[in-house]
Amino acid sequence: MRSNGIGDETVTVSKAEYEALQQQNAWLMEQLELLKRRMFGTSSQQLDVDTRDQLNLFNEAEALADQRLPEPELEEITYKRKKQKGKREQDLSGLPVERIEHELSPEERICPECGKVMNDIGVHTRRSLKVLPARMIVVEDAVHTYACDCETDDGHTPIVTAEAPAPLIPGSLATPSLVSYLMTQKYQNGLPLYRLERGFQLDGINISRQTMANWIITCAGCYLLAIYLLMISFLLKEPAIHADETTYQVLKEPGRRPQTKSYEWLYRTSGCAAHPIVIYEYQETRSHKHPEKFLKDFKGYLHTDGYDGYHDLPADIIVVGCWFHARQYWENLLKSMPKDKRAGSAAAKGLAYIQKLFDFEREWKNLTPEKRLEKRLVESKPVSDAFFNWAASLGALPKSLLGEAVHYTLSQRKYLENVYLDGRLELSNNRAERSVKSFVIGRKAWLFAATPEGAKASSVVYSIIETAKENGLRPFQYLQYLLETLPNTTTGNLEALLPWSDTLPEECRVPK
């Protein structure tokens, strides 16, 4: 029993109650410190320098160093280096040049001293950038029809009509360049359609946002969907892919309130792929049935975070956990602690273990998958085993930040250790995180999709734009080429239009 005198009153609590209050107070202080860090602290994921020195088992170099030995002699090497082209000149090398000559008139060339005509002795060139804002012009397709004066035996007059390209959308003002412009402005540059509508109005052009949305939905469904589905078929043939998901608000979903959360799922190739592919898929929920359906033809390794919706997939799919997500739990724990108590703490030691694994990966990034796997099993796997055994021995309280870090680490162990099955696998799911970020940044600007049809169209366009960027293409030029070509292309010729095709026009590619 504990009694504390407070004036004339005495408060009596049991030892168990006292310890429970201490634990609750410690947990509240952790949460307060973590909240302060999230609100006002840096978002950098780098470790404090002192946390790298927590584990003696990683200091072989220091332990084996002999300070009595003389420093090695340094060989001095001198060489001449050819001056490289300036960065500004390199940046401007792919742009057309408009040269303006500034000369004196014949009268101005007369020498004021002797009256003779002065000679041109040199030119000083100054370079600057000129912007030509986007402008619209009206294109009229005047299709001529021809008839002959003669008549056939049955009284028929021969008539021939000139060929003209089919309209992108019958009865519409839309052209491949216009729709491509709308798509890149919204999905690449994050401009909502209402801002584009207002910009057109300032130029004297009235195109409503509803019309623009209809054009995007129609072209995504009629033309771009074929490329989207073909990219998915190639993605599912890969030995390893990444997956992630983020929230999405779609206003007019049947039977659902406008405020209900929907989801944008992300699937993409890993670093071992010959050609990067990024696929977005809109779904109403975060249910495991969505990746199960999308990945029904996939057999291989799936990089994910710790979301258990990926853990009920068929046995042909091996889930590979994300060490970076595990690291975040230990980093949050470290950030919740006063700086003077971080050194030597469990948080610093846990981070040091994980950091060592990432240090190994940086050293081995240029190795072949076979050699990398060999190195992992010999050097990285023992560190991983030591980390899990150490975490299990901590006996942390479940509701504390340390308890959360330990629980996540141990519950994800079987998925985190799958990285040791194949040298092509990666330690983190950061590739998927980076691809999701493009969608998240755009979502901050246009906020929501009005209808499921619009959400599906957005997924198609996002997929093509992001895949184009990762394959070194210029999204506007590539989309324009697709919308010019697809209306007259058969299904058997679609592979020549994929973002990694060697037959794409040069103007679709980012200038080197």
Instruction: Report pLDDT digits (tens) over 182-224.
Output: 999 999 999 999 999 999 999 999 999 999 999 999 999 999 9
Model pLDDT for residues 86-125, shown as the tens digit of each residue: 666 766 777 788 888 888 888 888 988 888 888 888 888 8
* φ, ψ of residue 248 in degrees (nearest 5): -155, 130
Residue in this structure with the two tokens 């209402």, named with its chain if needed: 194
Contact at 8 Å (CB) between 253 and 452?
A: yes
What pLDDT does residue 134 have?
Answer: 78
What pLDDT does residue 136 have?
Answer: 87
Model pLDDT for residues 317-340, shown as the tens digit of each residue: 999 999 999 999 999 999 888 888
What pLDDT does residue 246 have?
Answer: 96
Task: Flag whether pLDDT at 10 surpasses 70.
Answer: no
Tell me the pairing of strands 278-283 and 300-303: unpaired
What pLDDT does residue 62 have?
Answer: 40
What token pair was written down for 222? 């009629």
What pLDDT does residue 84 have?
Answer: 57
Q: Taking the model in full, what pTM does it have?
A: 0.81
DSSP secondary structure string, 28-41? HHHHHHHHHHHHHS
Mean pLDDT value across the chain: 86
Task: Flag whether pLDDT at 305 surpasses 70.
Answer: yes
Q: Rounded to an integer, what is the distance from CA 146 to the centroid of its chain?
A: 54
Model pLDDT for residues 30-80, shown as the tens digit of each residue: 666 666 666 666 555 554 434 545 554 444 434 434 444 444 454 555 555
What token pair was written down for 119? 């000679």
Model pLDDT for residues 397-409, shown as the tens digit of each residue: 888 889 999 999 9
Out of 157-166, 380-389, 434-443, 466-475, pick the least confident.
157-166
Tell me the pairing of strands 2-6 and 300-303: unpaired
